[in-house]
Amino acid sequence: MRIQHFFDPQTFTLTYVVYEPATGDAVVIDPVLDYDPASSQTSTGSVEAVAAFLERERLKLRYVLETHAHADHLSGSQFLKRRFGAPVAIGERIREVQATFQALFDLPADVPTDGSQFDRLLADGEEFQAGALRIRVIATPGHTPACVSYLIGDAVFTGDALFMEDSGTGRCDFPRGSATDLYHSVHDRLYSLPDATRVFVGHDYQPEGRPLRFETTIGASKQGNSQLKASTSKEEYVRFRTTRDATLKAPRLLLPSVQVNVDAGRLPRPHANGNRYLHMPVNIFGPTDEAGIPLPRA
């Protein structure tokens, strides 16, 4: 088994192609559709690079796997599905995320909240084949309720649950997020894997300008993760994570990303004039009146 990474510096996102050279079977994990918020224009440079690699290596794309409905980049899953005919899969608790954001964005009735726009919903502990690749699903909620990690051979792909040691773990302040859940996901579930298990993270924020890093091990994480070691208590972690999250700004692409990604990476349906429109609620994090004056908190 081989792993090829792709890094999007605009969103600090890692996309992975996992493949078996002997058979050519491959999966792609967390592809990126580029989006410029100033012009509200999408482009396909990042996902084209992934597609070019698949074609150059003559790989057969068996699945596009999402670790969760991302809040910091648009998914390129539909591009790959159209190019290669590969089904798109995500954790089955995506239904909870869809229901939450359907109400928040007042999404149209033709955006279902039963997960049916994804080709496959994956249950915790489920194992399935992608050609010669055997994949085990590990539910790792906390960042979102629907987060999953994928164990393939001796490698686990952790999305936004577990990062490099100097970046810690994912934030837990999005709707239905939970620092307690993430503690159990990392401490009790991921850290129960063998220490030699390779960890491939979903983002690398390159703290203090260091070079890109995207691979570590369970053992190194248990010993050296800056936020959650094997020795960290639940109370200690939850206190840290909750305090830290209260200081963080919303991701730059939060509003466009979530409403596209809960719909399996599909852009909104065109209106009668042929244009597609994102729903951009105003002041949802601090309600105001029509003059922009903050409303008293209940």
Q: How far apart are CA 33 and CA 37, in angstroms?
A: 12
**Per-residue pLDDT tens digits for 243-266:** 999 999 999 999 999 999 999 999
What angle, 0 to 180 degrees and rounded to 10, lies between the N-to-C axes of helices 94-105 and 254-261? 130
Indicate the domain borders of the chain.
2-261
Whether domain 2-261 has CATH 3.60.15.10:
yes
Parallel, antiparallel, or unpaired: how do β-strands 60-65 and 120-122 relate?
unpaired
Structural contact between residues 1 and 133, judged by C-beta atoms closer than 8 angstroms: yes
Average pLDDT, the chain: 96
For the chain, the distance separating the N- and C-terminal CA atoms, rounded to the nearest angstrom, is 55
H or E segment to which residue 228 belongs: none
Mean pLDDT for back-to-back runs of 10 residues, the chain (298 residues) = 98 98 98 97 98 98 98 97 98 96 84 95 98 98 98 98 98 95 98 98 96 98 98 98 96 94 95 93 88 86
Parallel, antiparallel, or unpaired: how do β-strands 120-122 and 133-139 relate?
unpaired
CA distances from 95 to 87, 89, 92, 105, 122 (A): 18, 13, 7, 15, 12
